[in-house]
Each structure stands twice: as structure tokens, then as C-alpha cells.
Amino acid sequence: MLKPFVFLDLFAADPARVVLGQSGGAVSPIRAPSGINHLDVRLAPGERWTYRPPAGHGVGWMAVETGTVLTPEPVSAGELAVFAAGDAAIHFQAPQGARFVPRGADERRSRDRAHRSRVAGRGQVDLMD
């Protein structure tokens, strides 16, 4: 039987919700491997938001569901953007409003997962440790 899924708000005024991992002191109720973050962000028209990855998160990427997000380069609905390696803050702006999912992981875990995906052949990898 499926249980209802609950999002945790990071802050009352913050547009991001933690799906997996942790950010800004909030921790997802879903058990997930350490070193992985997956957020759900909704920005109103003209709104800005900054993601501060945890120390050691050297890999970051995002996918846009609706609208266009400036990172500062525009990333539109249906597109995926990969950020330069490092754990520096990433700034987002949505001129017309947008919904997107930024994700991050520590580099070591990402390399391990990529290797396991290749070994599995079909990309079917157990994500839980």
C-alpha cells in the first residue's frame, strides 16, 4: 500500500522543497543514499533563488519543467543543464516564472554510481545502500 508523500519546506519564504537529501537545515523524509540532493523549486515571475550545495558536492545539474531559468545562461522547459565542477553557490532567476529541479551529489558518489550503471548494462541500479 502506498503512503502519502510529504514535502518538507526549507523555509516559509523559500521556493525550494527537499525531495531527497538535505538543504538549508531541512532533511527529506525519504531514505536516500548520503551525498545526493534533489530539490523541487518554483519561482514566481522575476524571482531569484540561490542554491548552496553542501560541502563536497562537486557535481550539479538541473532540469526545467516549466518556464525558463537564467543560470545566468537561459535553460528552458525540457532542457537539462550541467554546472561546472565545484561546490560554489548557484544562482537562478525566472523572468516569467518557472519550475525546475536542481540536483547535486558528491563527486566520488557520482563516479561510483556512473560506474555501477555501466556495469549493470541497462541502467538498473539499486540506489539504496
For 35-80, write each residue's pLDDT tens digit. Answer: 888 889 999 999 999 988 877 777 788 999 999 999 989 999 999 9
- Supply the mean pLDDT for the chain: 75
Q: How is domain 8-120 classified at the architecture level of CATH?
A: Sandwich (2.60)
Dist. CA 69–CA 66, nearest whole Å: 9
Q: Which grid cell sits at 59?
A: 557535481
The answer on pLDDT for 116 being more than 70 is: no
- In the chain, domain spans: 8-120
Q: What are phi and psi of 111, to 5 degrees?
A: -65, -40
| Mean of pLDDT values over 102-126 | 52
Going by C-alpha positions, the residue among 16, 10, 9, 3 that lies closest to residue 92 is: 16
- One-character DSSP codes across the chain: -PPPP-PEESSTT--EEEEESEETTEE-SS---TTEEEEEEEE-TTEEEEE-PPTT--EEEEEEEEEEEESSSEEETT-EEEPPSS---EEEEETT-EEEEEEEE-HHHHHHHHHHHHHHSSS------
pTM across the whole model: 0.71
Going by C-alpha positions, the residue among 62, 5, 69 that lies closest to residue 38 is: 62
